[in-house]
Amino acid sequence: MPTSRQRRTFVPVHPTPCGKYTLIAKIGHGGMAEVFLAVASGMAGFRKVSVVKRIHPQLLEEPEFVQMFMDEARLAARLSHPNVVQTHEVGEQDGVPFIAMEYMDGVAYDKLLKAIRRKGTRIPVKLAVRVVMESLAGLHYAHDLRDYDGTALGVVHRDISPSNIFITYQGVVKILDFGIAKATTKLSETRTGQIKGKLSYMAPEQARGKAIDRRADVWSMGVTLFETCTGVRLFKGESDVDTLQRVLTGDINTILKEEEDKLPALLFPIVEKSLARRVEDRFESADVMRKTLAEVLPQLDGPEPDVEGFLREHFEELAESQRAMVGDLLEQADQAAARAAPPVADDEEEAVPVVVSAPESRNTLRTVLLALLILGGVVGGVAVAMMSSGEPPADDGLATAQPSGVEQEPGDPAAEAAEGTAAESAEGARSAEGAPGADAPPAGGGEAAEAGDPAASTAESDGEGGAEGADAEEAEAAEEVASASDEAAARRLREARRRAAVRRRREQSATDEQASENQQPAAPATAESGTLRLVTRPWSEVYLGGQRIGTTPLLNHRLPAGSHTLVLRNPEMGLEQRMQVRIRPNETTRLNLALQ
């Protein structure tokens, strides 16, 4: 039975627009971005659940982090493969960039392994091999990705580990998080000697800060294959320094032989080749390693791997719990939307048909064209000239005009303004029908004009005033149409600006609250102090000497020059890690770490 720690945590948030999506719950956050559960709605009850990754608002003033986020967005938008998480779109809301991705109903591979380990067992070897094979297929696709002109992009994930492999409850394996991937599309650059990734899964050349290629990911998959088959951590040490030392100089053959009884003999040479210290001695690509595993898979003991069946057996309760949570969140979001929507007035619900005579229809058309002349200039003038020279239409009885009831979006100021005139417009229409020769008010004029639909407006003449009088009345009516349209547009613009201002104030309030926690007041610069910029994935609380100094990302945090021991803790995921950092006088030390 899954524990509370295994259950995916959704923290409901006030429904917030983000492009065409509405954010309804927070899933988590890292050093650079927040991750939300979101929903996109459409016609006929259409609804699609997605995941939206949005950069921390306080990092918008940091070009380095914005560029890193956009690098990830550009690459993610190019990736389309069954074994890679799908990106729907990259967008921006109120100046904050975001990435919208597919929502996957499943569990991260590292969580699966921990849950099985707590039961005192391991996953079947054949199933572990199958998961690695599917992951290698997704990696090979990314490694081979080319630009539109055929140029190889040279993608390297750089952070492959069980935490970045996801398995859906339908048994589909997906590679996650190309956030620190290397690619030629990147505009930001990794500084020489800068390390990105998890140390215990990192290839030696990557740990040394040297140039890397796709074979660095092959090493990481070799570590993953060994650990999932044996249940033994290969390089994990007591500290980061110990782990790094094992990666760089550890005797891999000795470690493998110590666990030989847990690793099938057929897999031993595959793991050994993928973990060759010389890059040239490894599998030349993820695809070659995958094909090698495919050859030995049928020869391994045990039933055929059924990933979906395995998850159903061990995680059915967790799956039902997650789906129920998502259902509740969607229902809450619908209720919030219903409460926010203004009530619809009775006289807006029914459209009143307006019937006028054929000569009145001709005058209406000429009025519309004059309005277009005022608003559009030359095109309208040409249209009026053409109409003036044409023959009047034959009176064939009755002509039906547009209905006076114009459907508006909920909350539209034009709908509110039109509400007060609907009854009067309908009454005017009835008068026109009963007494064709009498003066009557324009049927539905105010409502249709505010909706921006000149064809819905009607005007009448008394039929006795001559051409000069009719032209004057038509010009006056056209000015009223243009004025009403401009006024309605102005009201809609003012309302949109008001809503945007309210939204910005809410987001700024939340941003200021977190920024006040994350950014400590900078101490005066001295010759014996330096600055620390620390980003971790996932987020962490940072402690120095037993005192909490902030939450990542730490930006421009001043520390005395020298060596310091920091403790990084993520209480949500139960992670804690110690690290040594050296601060140089009057310099900025930049660290980007993945907690393990």
Top-ranked range on mean pLDDT: pick from 56-60, 172-176, 332-336, 412-416: 172-176
- Residue 522 is given by DSSP the state P
11-333 has CATH 1.10.510.10 classification: yes
159 tagged catalytic: yes
Confidence of residue 42 (pLDDT cuts 50, 70, 90): confident
How high is the pLDDT of residue 511?
Answer: 53
Give the angle 134-263-305 at the CA atoms, nearest 5°.
40
pLDDT at 84: 94
Closest C-alpha among 139, 186, 187 to residue 164: 139
CA dihedral 248, 254, 258, 262 (to 10 degrees): 70
Over 90: is that where the pLDDT of 498 sits? no
pLDDT at residue number 432: 41
Q: What is the mean pLDDT of residues 567-575?
A: 82
The identity of residue 507, as a single letter, is E
pLDDT at 147 (0 to 100)? 84
- Quote the CA–CA distance of 406 and 456 in Å, as a whole number: 9
pLDDT at residue 356 in the model = 40
Q: Is residue 455 predicted with pLDDT exceeding 90?
A: no
Distance CA 314, CA 319 (A): 10
pLDDT in tens, 55-92: 888 888 888 888 888 888 888 888 889 999 998 888 88
pTM for the predicted model, two decimal places? 0.58
**Average pLDDT score over the chain:** 73
pLDDT of 348 higher than 80: no
The number of residues in the chain equals 596
Residue 96 pLDDT > 80, yes or no? yes
The whole-number pLDDT of residue 239 equals: 86
Domain 529-594 has what CATH class? mainly beta
Would you kindly state where each structural domain of the chain is located, as residue ranges? 11-333, 349-494, 529-594
Cα–Cα nearest to 287, from 133, 414, 64, 407: 133
- According to DSSP, the β-strands at 33-41 and 47-55 are antiparallel
Q: How many helices (H) and strands (E) does the chain have?
A: 17, 18
Among 72-86, 126-140, 347-361, the least confident range: 347-361
Query: SS3 breakdown of the chain: % helix, strand, coil, rounded to 5?
Result: 45, 20, 35
The structure tokens listed for 112 are 């699966």
- Winning range, highest mean pLDDT, from 2-6, 61-65, 100-104, 592-596: 100-104
Q: What percent of the chain has pLDDT over 90?
A: 26
User: pLDDT tens-digit profile of 185-241?
Assistant: 444 444 434 445 688 899 999 988 888 999 999 999 999 999 999 988 888 888 888
Confidence of residue 255 (pLDDT cuts 50, 70, 90): confident
Distances (CA, A) of 2 to 6, 96, 166, 511: 6, 36, 17, 35
| From 159, 177, 217, 412, the catalytic residue | 159
The string of pLDDT tens digits covering residues 501-522 is 656 665 665 555 554 444 444 4
| Overall average pLDDT of the 474-482 stretch | 49
pLDDT band at 270; cut points 50, 70, 90: very high
Whole-number percent of the chain with pLDDT over 70: 64
